[in-house]
Amino acid sequence: MTMTFVATWVDVCSYTDLLPDRGACALVGDRQVAVFRTYEGELYALSNLDPFSGAYVLSRGILGTRNGVPTVASPMYKQVFDLTTGLCLDDPAKSVPTFSIRLNGDRVEVMT
């Protein structure tokens, strides 16, 4: 028996609901997803779970860049994660899942 997984886009909020350089947490299916909008208007989505503290806090992190890479620093222990890959730039042995995100009209959607 073969099971197929069908990815779907889930509406999470209006684009204007996301403040530039701030994060928001969205429940996508049974997962907490941290959604970010940069000042440049780029959108990113990754797991809200900080693998170092075990707390769901990455949406409250500080956005920035490191060597031109868009990042978020965890508010707990300050580890920095690449918003495009989820890789921890301070400890490459750790990472968080990333999610496809898009703008559909004025709505922000995340793929499950």
Q: pLDDT digit of tens for each residue in the chain (112 aa)?
A: 666 667 899 999 999 999 999 999 999 999 999 999 999 999 999 999 999 999 999 999 999 999 999 999 999 999 999 999 999 999 999 999 999 999 999 999 999 8
Contacts of 111 (CB under 8 A, 6+ apart): 7, 8, 9, 10, 99, 100, 101, 102
Pairing of strands 101-104, 80-82: unpaired
Neighbours of 58 (CB within 10 A): 29
Domain ranges (residues) in the chain:
10-111
Tokens of 28: 């996508």
Global pTM reads 0.93
Strand partners, 101: 110
What pLDDT score does 5 carry? Answer: 65
CA gap 45, 102 in Å, rounded: 10
Report, at the CATH architecture level, how domain 10-111 is classified.
3-layer Sandwich (2.102)
CA gap 37, 44 in Å, rounded: 7
For every residue of 2-41, DSSP letters joined together read: -------EEEEEEGGGSPTTEEEEEEETTEEEEEEE-TT-
